[in-house]
Structure 1
Amino acid sequence: MDEDREIARLHKVFRTIRELVRDRGYLVSTAELEMSLDEFRETYSKNRHIDRQSLIFAAGRENDENDKLLVFFAEDESVGIKPIKRICERMIVEGVVKGILIYQKQLTPSANKVVQELAPKYQLELFMESELLVNITKHTLVPDHEVLTVEEKKTLLARYRLKETQLPRIQRTDPIARYYGLQRGQVVKIIRPSETAGKYVTYRLCW
């Protein structure tokens, strides 16, 4: 029973992280996005156990072969320096500067320090499995978000004759900012329904 619950739990994480990667503009197959629990169990479960290493995957963009993302799953409940260094080595070997590490319970202070030292050359984002059980962007109270390109940001500021510091802010630690991988200086467009205008649009600067 515990094994079945764990498999069902990891299936939710599996689905959410692929939705997150897709929503950032990377290529993810429809088969992976729509994989049922039974298909997930058949594909990844051996003796009613999921080897988290088998869940590791890479994703690229259709129009930019140099922009790739590696997603790692930590096997140990507590992640120390050694797993982080193995991740770094793989990113270096594959020429990838963006990564996401999904861990079970905690990172040691020394592992956290290594991750911080990687920046800004290597971006390794950290998500706990429990944070990915539900896709927060699908909540009925969360409006649609669109991350602006550099050109779209320039057009926005020019149109309204604004400096970027005049825009309302969203913190990098905000759950939505983390979902979309917002970096400092990026602008996100927020679209809310409006009874009078049909929709109400605002913008926030990641800070």
Structure 2
Amino acid sequence: MRPFVFLLHWRNRKVTYTLHSISISISISISISIFICICILRLAERNAERTMECKSKMRDNGSVESHRYFLSRKTALEMLQDRGYDVVQHTNLTPSLQEFRSRFGQQPNPHTLGFSVSHLSHPSNMVQVVFAGTDVIRKATVTEICRQIVDRQKLKSLILIVQSKMTSFAKKDLETLPFKVEIFKIDELLVNITKHVLQPKHEILTDDEKKALLTKYNLKEKQLASMLRTDAIARHYGLEKGQVVKVTHSGPMVDSHVNYRCVV
């Protein structure tokens, strides 16, 4: 009988020991889980604090109006630089939004934002940029714009950046001016479309390059793919009818290839 009692006692002790070991393991697992949860919560709190700090740094506390003027003016300068004009002086004056606001204020006067630039290769070729206000553009507005023109004899093109509608009489007056008038809505210049990652590379051919292209492939101008003068790219570069653009498509997902388009 005693051996049986001893064996039973030994088994009870073994079960008790096993249960005790399991209890300790569970306690350790719970402690580790709690520790991990605390670490995750603290890490999340730190990330949240850093995110809020970054957002506070990125938050623009200035006026929306000044931001729109800054972006449109910046794009206009980039556009003229792509056309071969000397814009360095004006670009260096307001390279950032903060410096733009320091110079022109939170509520910029549109009449002070305009500028004129000369072509790098042909200094006598000049373009003037004028910002119109928020009022409807009428005949009187066109008259006032003409007064802002610096040198009519050298002026090749007037770029008018508008924010509102234009009357038919104002349009007729602009059409009678002795130089080219390009009209852009301010919303069209908030982003430089040529810098989009999906936008192919565009190169404007010279007259000699165009002639060589047509001769090489024995083509006529009308056989080239067309590009409307109202196309966003054509307007960006100020292209005229008959000019040819070399378009290079390239990217990680497509093979590089080139085509040519003629402005119509």
Deviation at 1:92, TM superposition (A): 8.0
The structure carrying a bigger helix percent of its residues is 2
Report the equivalent of 2:123: 65
2:84–2:121 contact (8 Å) kept in structure 1: no
Residue pairs, 1:39-118, within 5 angstroms: 39-45=99-105, 48-88=106-146, 90-91=148-149, 93-95=151-153, 96-118=155-177
Task: Check whether the contact 1:3–1:49 (CA below 8 A) recurs between aligned residues.
Answer: no
Which whole-Å CA distance do the structure 2 matches of 1:18 and 1:103 have between them?
Answer: 16
Of all paired residues, the percent bearing the same amino acid is 36
2:183 is equivalent to residue 126 of structure 1: yes
Larger Cα-atom Rg: 2
TM-score of the superposition, structure 1-length normalised?
0.89
Q: Distance in 2 between matches of 1:189 and 1:163?
A: 16
- Provide the C-alpha distance between the structure 1 equivalents of 2:230 and 2:61, rounded to a whole number of angstroms: 33
> What secondary structure does 1:49 align onto?
coil
SS class of match (1:38): helix
Does residue 27 (structure 1) correspond to residue 86 (structure 2)? The answer is yes
Q: Once structures 1 and 2 are overlaid, which stretch shifts more, 133-142 or 36-45?
A: 133-142
Q: What do residues 52-81 of structure 1 show as CA deviations (whole Å, max 9, x unaligned)?
A: 111111111122112111111112431111
Q: Is the 8 A contact 2:138 2:166 kept in 1?
A: yes
TM-aligned CA deviation for residue 50 of structure 1: 0.1
Higher strand share: 1
**Comparing 103-112 with 127-136, which one deviates more in the overlay?**
103-112
Q: Which residue of 1 aligns with 2:247?
A: 190
Task: Tell me the C-alpha RMSD between the 2 structures.
Answer: 2.4
Structure 2 portions without partners, runs of 5+: 1-59
Deviation, structure 1 residue 108: 1.2
| CA pair 69-168 structure 1, distance change in 2 beyond 3 A | same
Structure with the bigger RCO (C-alpha within 8 Å, sep 6+) is 1
Deviations 1:117-140 (A, max 9, x none): 33xx41000001011011111112
Counterpart CA distance in 2 for 1:113 and 1:62 is 32
User: The residue matched to 1:142 in structure 2 has which SS?
Assistant: coil
Distance 1:104 1:196, change over 3 A: closer
2:217 to 153, 160, 166: 160
Q: TM-score, normalised by structure 2?
A: 0.70
Secondary structure of residue in 2 paired with 1:102: strand
CA contact (8 A) 1:182 1:206 kept: yes
Q: Is the 8 A contact 1:69 1:98 kept in 2?
A: yes
